[in-house]
Amino acid sequence: MLPKYYHGYGHTVPLSDGGKAFCIIYSVIGIPFTLLFLTAVVQRIIVYVTRRPVLYFHIRWGFSKQVVAIIHAMVLGFITVSCFFLIPAAIFSVLEDDWNFLESFYFCFISLSTIGLGDYVPGEGYNQKFRELYKIGITCYLLMGLIAMLVVLETFCELHELKKFRKLFYVKKDKEEDQVHIMEHDQLSFSSISDQAASMKDDQKANEPFVNSQSPTSNDSSLNN
């Protein structure tokens, strides 16, 4: 029996046992690979979008790196909000007959924040033209918007001020505990070095050729002759 699904954005649920089993297996495999894919893409994009521009303005014009990073993060956040929230909301408010600008902006925010309530679904109207192409465009928009959101969040997380704020929540270790760990590490390294030296000496002794020493009586007889 083929798996049955109830269709709807945010409400797509498997109805049959086979569909539920496939959903579990697919989620266990698909979610980690999706996270790895997004992490790899964001780490490569942020080099060209954030780190190199900040370093360029810092070296080329001599501005403070912290100030440049803050201004860059603000500009990048404004561009992202404009390109993936404001402009798409205006487009959706035109394409969707029953949506106003606020409802369209609400859909963009709920979708890109991965909340996905499903109360607003684009392309579900009866008179929707080019429905398949419209759905593909929305999928590309959501994927690109999610990557852009992660890039902006990573950019803000690299700010020096936020790094100092995050350190407030780190677990602090006692100095005595750190000294004990250091001493234990030093003792382990010293014992490993001594063991290696002893094994090297044993190997050298085993590889040395045997020397046949002459007896003292033979030496005396040779001298008398």
pTM above 0.75, yes or no: no
The rounded distance, in Å, linking the Cα atoms of 185 and 180 is: 9
Distance (Å) of CA 186 to CA 83, 173, 174, 192: 55, 19, 19, 10
* Confidence at residue 175, expressed as pLDDT on a 0 to 100 scale: 53
What's the CA gap between 107 and 86, in Å, rounded?
11
Comparison of pLDDT for 130 and 153, the residue scoring more: 153
pLDDT band at residue 198 using 50, 70 and 90 as cut-offs: low
Quick one: pLDDT at residue 216?
46
- Distance from chain centroid for Cα 119: 31
Burial of 77 (0-12, 13-18, 19+ CB in 10 A): middle
CA 86 vs CA 15, 101, 120: distances in Å = 37, 9, 17
Measured CA angle at 13 (ends 10, 18), to 5 deg: 155
**Average pLDDT score over the chain:** 79
pLDDT value of position 91: 94
* Percent of the chain predicted with pLDDT > 70: 70
Q: Which amino acid is it at 199?
A: S
- Which residues 6+ apart lie within 8 Å of 147 measured at CB? 38, 41, 42, 45
Q: What is the mean pLDDT of residues 169-189?
A: 59
| DSSP summary character for residue 174 | P
* Residue 93 contacts residue 172 (beta carbons within 8 Å): no
